[in-house]
């Protein structure tokens, strides 16, 4: 039994993909007082049937958060998808947690969270980390590396065109499955103490060349990497119809893979989830249908 199995544990964003998996993991690991927070409680009736208490939690409604956090000892704050508004949203739940007497915050951050203007989506995570530290509460910042699932979004197009566009100098990305990050977050909520920042990674970095080779192996279709400069990749993504801010965010992720920020490998998944992280090859093999294979 983990140290905090009988503490009152709250997961925000519990109808999101990661949040739901985290609640299910807490229940599976025997947590006795699990609260699933979401903007839309109607979506979580199945979790109520499994023993979770459901509460309405919307970071955009700060006046409601004090009641929503009543009695909570430890909270997993799932970063929201409202890009551009996240710092204010997440400041609201941090402030409410402190006021409600929460002892420990777990937060889903991003690799190499930093304030740099050209760091894509990272500044929002960095400033949230700063706000959590400034609260004085204990915390576990979980810097979730790139979801393996992200690679499925354009896999069909990459494979049918035979071209995987990346950056010159790519050093690889330690893709981690969303399920592994959710189990890790649940484990941290159940056991972590003190103030720590942890990188949540897959078991090995995968370069674009290796990703293309896996696509070829699993589908029989030749896929080659086209290595570009950041400016050319940005232009290509915009020409393909992506809004410029979204293209810039994708290029920033790839630049971080060139820098080496995405190639870190840690034991964090295994330490908190009790299982070895899924390899990228196993993930793609399990998702062959999404590759058009
Ligand atoms: N590491 C990566 O590769 C990667 C990739 C994509 C996203 N992310 C980040 O990881 C987070 C979780 O990923 P996911 O796959 O579970 O995303 P998702 O399914 O799109 O979930 C979005 C989450 O945002 C929450 N949310 C949105 N507005 C909110 C608000 N006003 N108040 C409280 N919560 C709000 C949702 O909660 P409810 O709907 O339950 O209220 C939900 O949990 C994302 O939100 C994003 O910050 C990471």
One pLDDT digit (tens) per residue for the chain, 293 residues:
789 999 999 999 999 999 999 999 999 999 999 999 999 999 999 999 999 999 999 999 999 999 999 999 999 999 999 999 999 999 999 999 999 999 999 999 999 999 999 999 999 999 999 999 999 999 999 999 999 999 999 999 999 999 999 999 999 999 999 999 999 999 999 999 999 999 999 999 999 999 999 999 999 999 999 999 999 999 999 999 999 999 999 999 999 999 999 999 999 999 999 999 999 999 999 999 999 86
- Counting from 1 in the atom list of ligand 1, the atom nearest the Cα of 44 is 40
123-124-130 Cα angle (round to 5):
85
Q: Is 11 in the pocket of ligand 1 (CB under 6 A)?
A: no
- Cα-Cα end-to-end distance for the chain: 42
CB distance 288 to 158 below 8 Å: no
**Residue 17 CB less than 6 A away from ligand 1:** yes
Strands 195-200 and 224-228: unpaired
Ligand 1 atom at shortest distance from the alpha carbon of 60:
31
Atom of ligand 1 nearest to the CA of 18: 16
Burial class (CB in 10 A: 0-12, 13-18, 19+), 190: buried
111 lines ligand 1 (CB under 6 A): no
CA distance 232 to 88: 33
- 79 Cα: distance to centroid of ligand 1 (angstroms): 6
In this structure, the chain runs to a length of 293
Q: How far apart are CA 3 and CA 12, in angstroms?
A: 21
Residue from 78, 145, 173 whose mutation best tests the ligand 1 pocket (most atoms within 8 A of CB): 78
201 lines ligand 1 (CB under 6 A): no
The CATH architecture annotation of domain 8-146+177-201+264-277 reads 3-Layer(aba) Sandwich (3.40)
For residues 59 and 90, what is the distance between their CA atoms, to the nearest angstrom?
Answer: 7
Q: How far is the centre of ligand 1, averaged over its atoms, from the C-alpha of 16 (Å)?
A: 6
The total of other beta-carbon atoms located within 10 Å of residue 70's CB is 12
- SS3 label, residue 29: coil
């Amino acid at each position: 039994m983990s140290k905090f199995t009988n503490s009152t544990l709250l997961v925000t964003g519990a109808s999101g993909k990661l949040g739901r998996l985290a609640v299910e993991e807490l229940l599976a690991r025997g947590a006795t007082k699990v609260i699933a927070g979401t903007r839309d409680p109607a979506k979580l009736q199945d979790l109520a049937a499994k023993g979770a208490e459901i509460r309405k939690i919307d970071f955009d409604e700060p006046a409601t958060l004090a009641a929503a956090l009543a009695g909570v000892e430890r909270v997993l704050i799932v970063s929201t998808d409202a890009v551009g508004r996240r710092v204010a949203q997440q400041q609201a739940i941090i402030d409410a947690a402190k006021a409600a007497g929460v002892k420990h915050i777990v937060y889903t951050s991003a690799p190499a969270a930093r304030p740099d203007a050209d760091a894509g989506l990272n500044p929002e995570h960095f400033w949230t980390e700063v706000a959590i530290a400034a609260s004085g509460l204990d915390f576990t910042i979980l810097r979730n590396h790139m979801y393996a699932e992200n690679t499925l979004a354009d896999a069909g197009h990459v494979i049918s065109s035979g071209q995987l566009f990346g950056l010159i100098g790519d050093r690889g990305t330690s893709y981690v499955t969303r399920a592994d990050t959710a189990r890790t977050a649940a484990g941290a909520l159940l056991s972590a103490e003190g103030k720590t920042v942890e990188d949540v990674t897959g078991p090995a970095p995968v370069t674009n060349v290796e990703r293309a080779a896996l696509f070829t192996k699993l589908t029989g279709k030749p896929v080659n990497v086209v290595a570009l400069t950041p400016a050319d990749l940005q232009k290509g993504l915009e020409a393909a119809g992506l809004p410029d801010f979204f293209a810039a965010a994708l290029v920033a992720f790839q630049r971080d893979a060139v820098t080496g920020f995405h190639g870190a490998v840690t034991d964090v998944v295994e330490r908190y989830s009790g299982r070895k992280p899924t390899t990228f090859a196993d993930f793609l093999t399990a998702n062959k249908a999404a590759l058009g294979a």
